[in-house]
Amino acid sequence: MAASWSELMLSKLVGRCNNFFQPGSSRAMCKPFMVGDQQVGWVWPGVEKHIQRFPDVFMVEDKQVSLCPSLQMYEERTARVQEVMVKLREEGEFIALKGWRDEMYEVFHQRSSPPVFRMERTATALLGVKQYGVHVNGYVEHPQKGPLMWIGRRAKNKSTYPGKLDQVTAGGFTAGLTAQEVLVKECAEEANIPQDIALTAQPAGAISYFYEDERGLFPEIQFVFDLKLPLDFQPVNTDGEVSEFYLWDMDKVKEQIAQPDFKPNCAMVVLDFLIRHGHIHPDQEPRYLQFLENLHKTLF
């Protein structure tokens, strides 16, 4: 039983969350996407074919695809890339662009330096650009039952992973916001957590992984926060994105994250929590180091 949980969990981490690194992925066919002399993404052949029609925005070469060197300024790069993406969206070729959100994400060389341009969130998958987000483990310390965790079920009408299990709240990094601002905003919208409680959340690291699916490439980094909620607090969804909340003990949570019902990257966030809080022991879990390796992939 224990072995079977370990293998299910590992297979999710390797085969879903990090399938870009697996044999048979599109990796060997992708070209690095460069801004200046630094890689900021990956371009797969299906995208390359289309963006080479815009040679004053994208320069397609044998070994790489670059943003045209003539585009030097943040606003100009943003405007020209956006024109291309709007055009591609109208042409209707790409599944990713059908989920257009009118939400801008920033593209960085390093997150410690200013962004080099910004682009529509759903279009990042076409250029294999890193996406950043904030995930919150909402838990309570029950005097009798021990630690319990709040788990949300995504609404059936969400465009991605409808009906799957998820953190109590999580959100992507809209351009210009800090991690704390994303956290406070998502706590309010997704679970009705008041700001004074949200601000007690403790940063606890980040996970990084790289998957691909029919929409494109997803190199992602999620900043992880632990939020201890009051015993009597009941999360309530206010934006229609969550259909239900459950309060489960750690055994139940652990069992569930290995199942197909749990959104893969959210399962990783919980796994990281379980490891950090001592709920998984290296002497009892044969896949301990492989779990950690897959929670912390170097993306590019």
Interface with a second copy (CB under 8 A)? 110-112, 178-180, 202-206, 208, 221, 223, 226, 275-278, 280-283, 286-290, 292-293, 295-298
4 vs 298, beta carbon nearer a second copy: 298
Q: What is the closest distance, in whole angstroms, from the C-beta atom of residue 226 to a second copy in the complex? A: 8
Nearest approach, Cβ of residue 289 and a second copy (Å): 5
Closest to a second copy by CB, 97 vs 107, is 107
| CB of 104 or CB of 275, closer to a second copy | 275
Shortest CB 12 distance to a second copy, Å: 17
Query: What 8-state DSSP symbol labels residue 265?
Result: H
Query: What is the longest distance spanned by two Cα atoms in the chain?
Result: 65
Strands (E), the chain: 31-35, 38-43, 58-60, 65-67, 104-107, 117-120, 131-142, 146-154, 165-166, 169-172, 202-213, 216-228, 242-249
Pick between residue 72 and residue 202 the one whose CB is nearest to a second copy: 202
| Smallest distance, a second copy to C-beta of residue 228, A | 11
Q: Which is nearer to a second copy, 46 or 205 (CB)?
A: 205
Shortest separation between residue 93's beta carbon and a second copy, angstroms = 33
Whole-angstrom CA distances from 1 to 37, 147, 198, 270, 286 are 50, 23, 37, 20, 13
Residue 262: CB atoms within 10 A of its CB come to: 21
Could you tell me whether strands 38-43 and 31-35 are parallel, antiparallel, or unpaired per DSSP bridges?
antiparallel
